[in-house]
Chains A and B, each alone.
Chain A
Amino acid sequence: MTPVERPLSPFLIYKPQLTSVLSFSNRAAGVALAVGTIFLVWWLVAAATGERAFATAQWFFGSWLGLLLLLGWTLAFFFHLLNGVRHLFWDVGMGFDLRTTYASGWAVVAGSFALTVLAFAAGVAMRG
């Protein structure tokens, strides 16, 4: 007896596509940024507390772990921002056809990496 052909969940039958990968990544980046807000509050509270507390926070953000986190959040920030703008265009009914969707998707990917590199280069330059 042949087994019953049951329907499969979409993530089991679809190949990864730019559209679906970016859709999920937007959510993942949002969650990562939400975690980052805890560190933003730490930084502000440390600045309000005093020189010593602020020095501890600055030391952490300057450590390899801190810099790695900042790099990740910078990429997540620019990606979520650019892809969010892409979503806002969809929300007003623009850019829905497949060609534009793919073009805007690749533009978001390229823009996110470019702005991340630019932001980090500028930060390093400012730090001297």
Chain B
Amino acid sequence: MARQSLRSPLGRAIGLGSAKHGADHWWAQRVSAVALILLGLWFAASLIAHAGADHGAVVAWLRNPITAILMLLLVATTFYHAALGLQVVIEDYVHSEWLKVSSLVAMWLISMGLAVAGIFAVLRIAFGG
């Protein structure tokens, strides 16, 4: 009897096995979520503490190295987590193939662009530009 294989005939013909990356998206979403529990609560508390604060007070707060580091982590993690989430939403609800792919490309480019803008702003304040 021929050896039974769990692989589909197409999969065998193409010859590309599992890339072992099937759970990467899922895992990245969870790791960034755990980071955002802490960073998010810190940010919410900071915003409350600076409610109605003027420019000088907010800049002085962002110049503190600990604040700057946490804010950089917050911006980077937030946009990563948001893009991973929006990706699933687009994949679930956009059914036209070309519209889905172009939405995904646009969403990732906009997310990364906004992240870099936010990071640059924090660095500029932190280094006193």
B side interface size, CB within 8 A: 35
A27 to B92 alpha-carbon distance, docked (Å): 11
Residues B82 and A55 in contact, CB atoms below 8 Å apart = no
Show 6 A/B contacts (Cβ-Cβ < 8 Å), sorted by A. Answer: A30-B86, A44-B118, A44-B125, A62-B52, A87-B33, A126-B51
Interface contacts beyond A119-B44, A127-B52: sample of 4 additional A-B pairs, CB < 8 Å, sorted by A: A31-B86, A31-B89, A41-B75, A87-B33
Answer yes or no: A7 CB below 8 A from chain B CBs: no
- The number of inter-chain residue pairs (CB within 8 angstroms) is 84
How close is B101's CB to chain A, nearest CB, in angstroms?
Answer: 19
Q: Which residues of chain B in 73-108 are interfacial with respect to chain A, using CB atoms and an 8 Å cutoff? A: 75, 78-79, 82, 85-86, 89
A41-B121 contact given A47-B58, A47-B59, A54-B55, CB 8 Å threshold: yes
Bound Cα distance A77, B33 (Å): 12
Q: Which residue, B51, B59, B82, B86, has most C-beta atoms of chain A within 10 A?
A: B51
B75 to chain A, nearest CB (A): 7
Interface residues of B (CB under 8 A from A): 30, 33-34, 36-37, 40-41, 44, 47-52, 55, 58-59, 62, 71, 75, 78-79, 82, 85-86, 89, 114, 117-118, 120-122, 124-125, 129
- Number of A residues with CB within 8 Å of any CB on chain B: 33
A126 touches B124 (CB 8 A): no
Are B82 and A34 in contact (CB-based, < 8 A)?
A: yes
Residue among A27, A47, A55, A124 making CB contact with B125, cutoff 8 Å: A47
* B52 with A37: CB separation less than 8 A: no
Chain A, 35-66, CB within 8 A of any chain B CB = 37-38, 40-41, 44-45, 47-48, 50-51, 54-55, 62
- Please determine whether B48 and A55 come into contact, CB atoms closer than 8 angstroms: no
